[in-house]
A and B are shown apart, each in its own frame.
Chain A
Amino acid sequence: MPDHWSGFSYLVTNLARFIRPDEVTFSGVNSTPPMLACLLAKRAYDFDFVYLNVAGGVQPAPSTIPISSSDPVLSEGSTAIFANEDFYDLCTRGGMDLCFLGAAQVDGRGRTNVSVIGDWHNPKVRLPGGGGGAVMLPTAQRAVTWRTEHSTRTLVETLDFVTAAGGLAGVVTPVAVFVKREERLALQSWHPDASLDEVRQRTGFDFVATGAATTPRPSVDEVAALQALDPDGQFERDAHIALR
């Protein structure tokens, strides 16, 4: 096992750890880390789960791992095409157990902003926009997001715009894992090379850390699965993730 646990591996591995046996789990557009997490879980864990993705895949077995997380290769090996309206309707009627959703800003209540930095009508930065969040975050059984940067500008006290509400079940950054507890995000664990103090300093919202500890290091199977998905480290290099 490597001494240094890279931010990229930490992020993908801890996203995968939200996946539970037999549940319906979904990865979407613009979502390379969750796509890798779902594929990692399929390889590393000794349980089955129903993997759906935005390319219409149902339990797919893609022959290559695409750069774009909506690439049609992600439906290769699928026995059905479960297209966009299908998986959204599944989610709103309560059939999506775990949904991975992107975010630019996250607040302490587990709400997200993917719309804008600054005022919506006078934007400093126009972001991608609504996407799946406003519908999926409040209707999925659990929704989990990730940030490749852990800072007071990404984990904020006040969102510039509330794109989606409903309370994230989890947030993973390169140095920390948060989970939902009593309608707030609480720290579950932190990277072995970081500390509780560091996480507090770099987080813009208040959180409880009762019972939090360092994150368990990746298992041999988790390391091997990520290695198999990213043999030459291209995804890791493209992700540009630093611990700090």
Chain B
Amino acid sequence: MEFLVASAIGILTAGGIYLTLRLRTFPVIMGISLLTYAVNVFIFASGRLTVGAPPILSDGVTTYTDPLPQALVLTAIVISFGMTAVVVMIGLGAFLGSDDDHVDDQPEASDSKAEGQS
């Protein structure tokens, strides 16, 4: 199970970094979403993986799972969700205003359409 979770985090992170390094807004936002998924699983795993154990104190239970990462990951999910929504809106506004969805600074007053076909 550790291998499965670890490799899932690794693959999500690798895909996220690849997409984040693209030039256009949409792949970059997708990449950041993948990165936040990866980090959410990572936080969840940071309290060690335990199967079928309760996080809160109960009678007759000896093994517990760490409750704190679950609280942390909830905060992280909410924040990353909100942030992604914000960046989609701002990116949409920028795209509709300039008809260009590159994330980097374009050379000023150049023919951005000609070199934007890549």
The answer to whether A and B assemble together is no
